[in-house]
Amino acid sequence: MDILRKVEHFREEENKLKWEGTFADYLHILKERKEVAQTAHSRVYEMIKSHGITKENGYTKFRFFENDIFGLEDTIERLVNEYFHPAAKRLDVRKRILLLMGPVSGGKSTIVTLLKEGLERYSKTEEGAVYAIKGCPMHEDPLHLIPEHLRDDFYDEFGIRIEGSLSPLNTMRLEKEYDGKIEDVLIERIFFSEDKRVGIGTFTPSDPKSQDIADLTGSIDFSTIAEYGSESDPRAYRFDGELNKANRGMMEFQEMLKLDEKFLWHLLSLTQEGNFKAGRFALISADELIVAHTNETEYRAFISNKKNEALHSRIIVMPIPYNLKVSQEEKIYEKMIKESDMAHVHIAPHALKVAAIFSVLTRLKVSKKQGIDIVKKMRLYDGESVEGFNSADLEELKREFPNEGMDGIDPRYVINRISSAIIRKEVDAINALDVLRSLKEGLDQHASISKENKEDYLNYIAIARKEYDEIAKKEVQKAFVYSYEESAKTLMDNYLDNVEAFCNKHKLKDPLTGEEMNPDEKLMRSIEEQIGISENAKRAFREEILIRISAYARKGKRFEYNSHERLREAIQKKLFADLKDVVKITTSSTTPDETHLKKVNEVVARLIDEYGYNSVSANELLKYVGSLLNR
């Protein structure tokens, strides 16, 4: 069986990575590769960097997150540049707990899971190799063996700063097992693993009355007290708490602010001093990134409590809002569906888009800026061009509501409603109307939606329906026009010839007779009226087109059909207007004649082959557009 061969190969590869030697051997490795001794925060930052960094649309994009986190480019950029990067440089920010704060299903847990899984993989690479004192339950940094009075000399020789003290257990082992000779202490390479509790810890709050602090810091092993004679003997202590096991890597606190206060106080010295108290021992050094997540309500309650001021000053809050870009929201749904048992279901084109439009609208705040409604704002946020607005307007909109995206409909609700639509329809295909209908019906079952919000949400569903109506008509328009791009290009070239003649006050030659003609005003107006260009505004619009053509020519580019967004829209609408009667007759006729039937079959075939529909969704689309045109 192939899978067993792959398992065997994986095991062999892992065995090749293993290494064991003395502390003296380890120093030789360190001489060659000083990055081996990097801090936990540095290791996380270097791990993110190792996947690649690119610049795109003004954002620094970190490829480590790109397949799992969508629409949060500025949030991720802030997270890496304002926390991980300075923390990696040993700046004071590393002495803070990283608290991800945001609404449910907004990506907080996904970010933490990615970091944990990324660290596991990175520790198996040459660049991310981690070494520890062999047999230490806390995977202690071997450099803690260097005595305090020699650490300046070590820095001069190796260029590496040493932080932290040797743990009580390894202090005793050094004396009893190695006779104080640090050069003989055995060192091994370790590999981070959440499952095996190596370098990655996870702590989840449970009943405060029953949860023990030992879950964090370890506990006394009463079965060994008789053997070792004292509770303060480190051999009689289990260093198996989550803070112990997360040493050298990262520690996740799920719903941290739900924890009892006694658990949180342990974090004060761990964050500020890099150590914590366990049992009857001196402070134990630990080097770990502490990351927690919570929702906004719990965070507000936490900071309002005066008793939490000390801990609050040791927290860096990173807001993780919902995504506010329709195109990115679609990707979230695609990912969630791919990971579910619904992957086999045919979801018609634009079904996820209308769901995304609805979701994003629920998260946006209505701007007070003149001339910008919520739909225009949605389009600007998604990178679309909106007439009369530019990138400066976009930045102003983003500054208007700093907390935008911290409430609204969450992606899980949408996926639940899509699931409901599939089950109800009992077929392996759903379309945009099925999704919108299911979203609307689910509002009554959503416990956290107020009456006021429900009215707004119903309005947003209506807006999403209008958006879909336009998309559906354009889709059918494209499918009905034979060689659509060629037809559009021909019409555009004809329009541009007439515009050029009009602006330059020239005449055109009839291609057949050679006779001189005036520019075809009727043709130009029939196209311009499609996008609301008035009689008074026509000259300005035509001159704008000529300026754009000239700009393209100067750069050695050809002015194409897609080179001017509004002209492209006008051409599409004109073509569709000319075909509207044909579409209406063909899609609405209950007994189409042979010609119409042939046309329908051609359109269905084109929708399937070129636009991603199947036969069911293609026929449903045609019927729906026919009903729209007959209203």
The pLDDT of residue 337 is 87
- Report which of 317, 296, 439, 324 is spatially closest to residue 73, judged by C-alpha positions: 324
Residue 63 has pLDDT above 60, yes or no: yes
CA dihedral in degrees (173, 174, 178, 181; nearest 10)?
180
CB under 8 Å to 626, separation ≥6 — which residues? 583, 584, 586, 587, 588
| Cα distance between residue 133 and residue 460, in whole Å | 59
Q: Greater confidence, 355 or 420?
A: 355
Q: What is the pLDDT of residue 564?
A: 87
Q: What is the pLDDT of residue 321?
A: 94
Of residues 217 and 457, the one with the higher pLDDT is: 457
pLDDT value of position 286:
92
Taking residues 31-54, report their average pLDDT. Answer: 94
Distance CA 9, CA 2 (A): 11
The whole-number pLDDT of residue 510 equals 76
442-451 contact pairs (CB < 8 A, 24+) = 442/413, 442/416, 442/417, 446/413
pLDDT at position 392 is 86
- Residue 597 pLDDT: 75
* pLDDT tens-digit readout, 474-496: 888 778 766 567 778 888 889 99
> Between these two residues, 309 and 157, which has the higher pLDDT value?
157
Inter-residue contact 163 to 151 (CB < 8 Å) = no
Beta-strand ranges (E) seen in 186-338 are: 186-190, 200-203, 219-220, 237-238, 250-254, 275-276, 284-285, 289-294, 315-319
Lowest mean pLDDT among 207-211, 266-270, 286-290, 461-465: 207-211
Q: What is the mean pLDDT of residues 128-136?
A: 95
**Predicted local confidence at residue 576, as pLDDT:** 75
Phi, psi of 529 (to 5 degrees): -65, -20
Gap between the Cα atoms of 546 and 176, Å rounded: 88
**Predicted local confidence at residue 483, as pLDDT:** 55
What pLDDT does residue 158 have? 93
CB 192 within 8 A of CB 200: yes
Q: CA separation (Å) from 248 to 39, 180, 224?
A: 7, 24, 28
DSSP, res 323: P
Q: Pick the residue with more confidence: 584 or 471? A: 471
Query: What is the percent of the chain where pLDDT is above 90?
Result: 50
pTM of the predicted model, to two decimals? 0.83
List, in sequence order, the alpha helices (H) in 373-442: 374-381, 391-400, 411-425, 432-442
- pLDDT: is 427 or 543 the higher one? 543
φ, ψ for residue 190, nearest 5 deg: -115, 160
Question: Comparing 186 with 4, which gets the higher pLDDT?
Answer: 186
Instruction: Please give, one letter per residue, the 3-state secondary structure of 500-565.
Output: HHHHHCCCEECCCCCCEECCCHHHHHHHHHHHCCCCCCHHHHHHHHHHHHHHHHHCCCCCCCCCCH
- Average pLDDT, stretch 285-291? 93
Measured CA to CA, the distance from residue 62 to residue 551 in angstroms comes to 34
Please report the pLDDT score of residue 613 as a whole number: 93
pLDDT, position 231: 76
Which pLDDT belongs to residue 209? 66
Averaged pLDDT score across all residues of the chain? 88
The region, left, alpha or beta by phi > 0 then psi within -120 to 50, assigned to residue 345 is beta
Note the pLDDT of residue 58: 73
pLDDT at 144 over 90: yes
Buried b / exposed e along 589-624 (16+ C-beta atoms within 10 A): eeeeeeeeeebbeebbebbeeebebeeebbbbbbeb
Quick: pLDDT tens for 387-437: 788 888 888 999 999 889 999 999 999 998 988 888 876 667 899 999 999
- pLDDT at residue 356 in the model: 96
Highest mean pLDDT out of 193-202, 206-215, 253-262, 309-318: 193-202
